[in-house]
Amino acid sequence: MAEPTVFAFRSLPGWVDDGSVQVSSSAGRILDVRVDRRFLARATDKSWRRIEAEHKSITNKLAAMRDELSVLEAQRQQIENIKAFSLTKITQDTFIGDVNVKTYGDVLGFITDSLRANARARRRVMLQLDELTPDYEASLRRVNDAKSLMKLEETTVLVTLQAEKPAAATVELTYMLPGATWEPMHELRASTGDGKTVEVISYAAVAQTSGEDWGGAELSFSTQSTTQSVRIPELEALTLGDTHTATRILTSQVSSFTRAQAAFEGQSHLWNTVRQRSSSQRMLTNVEQVYRSNVEYMHMVQGRTVSLFESLEKRGTTAHFKAQRVQSVRGDGHPVRLLIGRSVLGSTQKTVAAPEQSLNAAVTLTMTNTTDQPFLPGKVARYLDGTFLGMTDIDFIAKGEKFSLFLSVADHLKLSRQLDRKLSTLVRKTRNQMQVAFIVTVENLSTETATFTLADRIPVSENKEIKVDKVNILPAVKPDTQGILHWELTLKPGERREFRIGYQVEYPSELVLDTQRRRMHNRNASPYESNAPAAAPSKSRVEDQIMDLENMF
């Protein structure tokens, strides 16, 4: 049996999660795995003592030069006093007629020589001071760097292996640490020459400040939490009343990752500063500013992705992806896009006009996800013939699921939706009565026949205090359960058509006041939610529709 051998994985960041450390070896037997953590520098280290002694020596030299300047300044003041005294003396001697030219010349020569020597000495000391100042600043940076190292920890993982006989082995270390995040992004690329297929490209936008540069790393991405324990759901008796028995709620235990997260928050910025100072990038004056900006971006992304992935977890969905090419990711938080999926899907173009929402008709693409992986919720960049059109959003799309995406605006359709004030009235009583009539017009401005779907709606009341009746729709069409109206239209070039929608709404007068209070409350609460991820548009409430209609009168 060969002697045990200890292998060390050194210079890991101080926020490695101890509980996540795992080691595997292709040969031999693992006897022990130990995680050590130490500060990068101590006050008793010889290197610190040397740096401190050098800094004190330079500081003392600077102090001596400043003392010399003070002495020279005092000497200059003394010479100026002698000069003033000699002027007073010569004035008095002239007045009494007792002027000694030789004595006055000697005094004048003494003052001149003394001032000249004083100025020469000051210039010499100032020159020495200027020459020593850069050395002092460099020494001060070294001291600050050394002090920073005293606050920083590094992790070393020690692995003890033993084999029956000497053999080559590959030892693999796996661990978790905070400071990395990613979010899904997509591109939709369509072509006017091919209206039956589109290309959908998915990316993982990854950013990390884990304390290490990921050079040429193979990256995998998951929507599943790596720190939360997943267990089989269990139900116990749900008892009501004053009893000690209650439903047991499964929660994840606080793990060693909490310590790692706290260490990361306290040391990551300092770690990056020390790394940049020790590299060639220290000459860049905006390194720390860029780092702070990247960290702020990471926090914003984490806010979105946490909400996103939690929503997927609630529906029992997890997804895993692997980057399709190796790429380096810097450790300063700079975001990098990595390709995780590319596919060509069959598509059907459809034009939809909903003038109540927008006076621009929309060209949409209807597709089916025929790939081997889902599409995650996120932003979608739209391209037509290589030209960037703008952004849209996509929800979670499972394998085999049918979905639609907005592509572009149908500029050849002119839409109008106006309130017919001759047929619209508002009577305010204990129960208000509002009769509304809308005139909707569509016009084909192109030189080709246009086929599209026109959509509008009437309110649907889910409140027994609100009644909607006297519905009049021309041309006649039956609304669905949500009050949505659809007309399948084909317009010839230059053709214009008109549609009329009318109905009556009866509701309590206090409903508008309650709706105004709710809107004011939501408006006041919005600043505190500005950093939260944007929620999906919710279904319009009939109370809001009524208030919007009242504002039209």
Question: In this predicted structure, which of 176-185, 241-250, 265-274, 491-500 has the lowest mean pLDDT?
Answer: 241-250
Q: Give the separation between CA 318 and CA 322, rounded to whole angstroms.
A: 14
pLDDT for the residue numbered 247: 38
For the record, the structure tokens of 313 come out as 């977890």
Regarding beta strands 467-474 and 484-491, do their DSSP bridges make them parallel or antiparallel, or are they unpaired?
unpaired
Confirm whether 240 is domain-assigned. Answer: no
Q: Is residue 165 part of a domain?
A: no
Q: Identify which has the larger pLDDT, 217 or 40.
A: 217
What is the C-alpha to C-alpha distance for residues 38 and 10, in angstroms, rounded to an integer? 11
Per-residue tokens: 332: 């300063």
Q: How far is CA 302 from CA 171, 224, 257, in A?
A: 33, 14, 17
The predicted model gives 507-526 an average pLDDT of 76
Beta-carbon-side half-sphere exposure of residue 520 (alpha carbons within 13 Å): 6
Top pLDDT among 86 and 427 is at 427
The Cβ of residue 267 has, within 10 Å, a number of other Cβ atoms equal to: 20
The answer as to whether 89 is a domain residue is yes
Q: Are residues 200 and 336 in the same domain?
A: yes
User: In terms of DSSP H, where are the helices of 278-340?
Assistant: 287-314
- Is the predicted pLDDT of residue 529 greater than 50, yes or no? no
Please indicate, yes or no, if residue 364 is contained in any of the structural domains.
yes
Q: Is the predicted pLDDT of residue 252 greater than 60, yes or no? A: no
* Percentage of the residues of the chain whose pLDDT score is greater than 70: 82
112 lies in the same domain as 192: no
Q: Are 25 and 133 in contact (CB under 8 A)?
A: no
Is residue 541 over pLDDT 80?
no
Count of H helices and E strands in the chain?
6, 23
318 is a domain residue: yes
Place of tokens 């692995």: 159
Choose between 341 and 224: higher pLDDT.
Answer: 341
**Out of 216-220, 353-357, 405-409, which region has the weakest mean confidence (pLDDT)?**
216-220
Task: Using CA atoms of 540, 541, 543, 548 in order, give the dihedral in degrees to the nearest 10.
Answer: 0
Domain count, the chain: 3
**pLDDT value at position 251?**
39
Asked if 310 and 366 sit in the same domain, the reply is yes
pLDDT range class, residue 237, cuts 50, 70, 90: low
Instruction: Please compute the mean of the pLDDT values over residues 304-328 and round it to a whole number.
Output: 80
Q: How far apart are the first and last CA of the chain?
A: 94
Amino acid at 402: K
pLDDT the model gives residue 141: 79
Handedness of CA 272, 276, 281, 284 (dihedral sign): positive
Residue 537 reports pLDDT greater than 50:
no
Give yes or no for residue 283 having a pLDDT over 70.
no
Same domain, 350 and 476: no
Instruction: Report pLDDT digits (tens) over 339-353.
Output: 999 999 999 999 999
Residues 492, 449 contacting (CB under 8 angstroms): yes
Neighbours of 81 (CB within 10 A): 10
Q: Give the pLDDT score at 168.
A: 87
Which residue from 406, 391, 352, 42 is spatially nearest to 187, judged by alpha carbons? 391
Which residues, in sequence order, are bridge partners of residue 12? 155
DSSP string, 178-192: S-EEEEEEEEEEEET
Pair 198, 334: CB distance under 8 Å: no
Are residues 419 and 392 part of one domain? no
Q: What is the pLDDT of residue 526?
A: 46
pLDDT band, residue 273 (cuts 50/70/90): low
Let me know whether 140 and 206 are in one domain: no
Question: 19 in a domain, yes or no?
Answer: no
Q: What is the CATH number of the domain that holds 77?
A: 1.20.120
62 is a domain residue: yes
541 and 497, same structural domain?
yes
Is 333 found in the same domain as 193?
yes
Query: What stretch of H or E contains 207?
Result: strand 194-208
Would residue 265 count as lying in a domain?
no
Which residues, listed in sequence order, are joined to residue 457 by a DSSP beta bridge?
484
Distance CA(370)–CA(343), nearest Å, equals 9
Per-residue pLDDT tens over the stretch 354-402: 999 999 999 999 999 999 999 999 999 999 999 999 999 999 999 999 9
Domain endpoint, select from 411, 446, 468: 411
Mean pLDDT of 317-334: 83
Please state which of the ranges 35-39, 98-102, 179-183 shows the lowest mean pLDDT: 98-102
- Of the listed ranges 56-70, 275-289, 539-553, the least confidently predicted one is 275-289
Choosing from 367, 391, 411, the residue where a domain stops is 411
Residues 404 and 428 in one domain: no
Which pLDDT score, from 0 to 100, does residue 90 have? 64
**Mean pLDDT (whole number) for 228-253:** 48
103 and 188 in a common domain: no
pLDDT, greater one: 521 or 467 = 467
The predicted model gives 501-522 an average pLDDT of 84
Which whole number is the average pLDDT over 71-83?
Answer: 86
Please state the rounded mean pLDDT for residues 89-95: 65
pLDDT, greater one: 503 or 263: 503
| Residue that wins the pLDDT comparison between 77 and 515 | 77
For residues 64 and 143, state if they share a domain.
yes
Q: Is 232 exposed, middle or buried (0-12, 13-18, 19+ CB in 10 A)?
A: exposed
**pTM of the full structure:** 0.66
195 and 335 fall within a common domain: yes
**Cα separation values, 192 from 328, 342, 351, 393, 490, Å:** 36, 20, 15, 22, 21
Q: What is the pLDDT of residues 126-166, one digit of tens each?
A: 999 999 999 988 888 778 777 766 777 888 999 999 888 88
pLDDT 10s digits, 54-68: 889 999 999 999 999
**Domain extent at residue 211:** 180-224+285-411
- Residue 402 bridge partners (DSSP): 368
Q: Examine the fold and report which residue of 411, 432, 457 is the final residue of a domain before the chain moves on.
A: 411
**pLDDT recorded at residue 230:** 55
pLDDT of the residue at 448: 93
Report the pLDDT value the prediction gives residue 248, as an integer from 0 to 100. Answer: 39
